[in-house]
Amino acid sequence: MPVRHLNHAVLYVSDADSTANFYERALGFERLPMGFPGAVFMRAPGSTNDHDLGLFSMGPGARPSAAGRETVGLYHLAWEVDTLSELREVADRLRQEGALVGASDHGTTKSLYAKDPDGIEFEVAWVVPADLLDSAALSARSAIGRLDIDQEMRRYGAETLGGVGISRP
């Protein structure tokens, strides 16, 4: 049986409520009425999932994740946006939050990297539609470059629906 999509992620955080505030401001996630003390469940804008993100409080004594430095563990989660104009909007929000830590051009994807209040990294990406992939985009896949959203908007269009033929039918 093939896996088709990530339905949701659950993160242990120091304070679920403050982390939920961040995801509301930075990515427009909405809090859901379900949950229990110390847990917040959230849905991404436009999602049809029961929830996309679960946040469980560990308390103020929780230490930051050492994954990738001292222990094994998850590196990051990645969410897609539909258009490059949405990617620019997310970049602006992440900058305002002081959370943006990188922006990369992977050829086939245009990606922002950020960290939440507990330092958990996540990616927000626009995926080049399959019918617009050319040799330049495919060869860039082997070398990560600096992302210039304005240049990509001129190349692909600000409102071009991303991911078509790759991550969506």
pLDDT attached to residue 169? 62
Q: E-assigned strands of the chain?
A: 9-13, 30-31, 39-43, 53-57, 77-80, 100-105, 109-115, 121-127, 145-146
Give the global pTM: 0.90
Distance between CA 157 and CA 154 in Å, rounded?
Answer: 6
Q: What is the pLDDT of residue 167?
A: 66
pLDDT at 129 over 80: yes
pLDDT, one tens digit per residue, over 20-39 is 999 999 999 999 998 789 99
Helix (H, G, I), strand (E, B) or coil at 27: helix
Phi first, then psi, for residue 127 (nearest 5°) are -100, 125
pLDDT attached to residue 139: 67
- Residue pLDDT, tens place only, 36-64: 899 999 999 999 999 999 999 999 999 88
Alpha carbon distance 1, 4 (integer Å)? 9
- Domain ranges across the chain: 1-59, 74-169
Predicted pLDDT of residue 2: 78
**Across 83-110, average pLDDT:** 96
Residues 6+ apart with CB under 8 A from 68: 75
The residue written with tokens 């909007």 in the block is 89
Contacts for 154 with CB less than 8 Å, ≥ 6 apart: none
Average pLDDT, the chain: 91
Tell me: pLDDT of 140 over 70.
Answer: no
Query: Which CATH superfamily is 1-59 part of?
Result: 2,3-Dihydroxybiphenyl 1,2-Dioxygenase, domain 1 (3.10.180.10)
Fold adopted by 74-169: 3.30.720
Structural contact between residues 74 and 10, judged by C-beta atoms closer than 8 angstroms = no
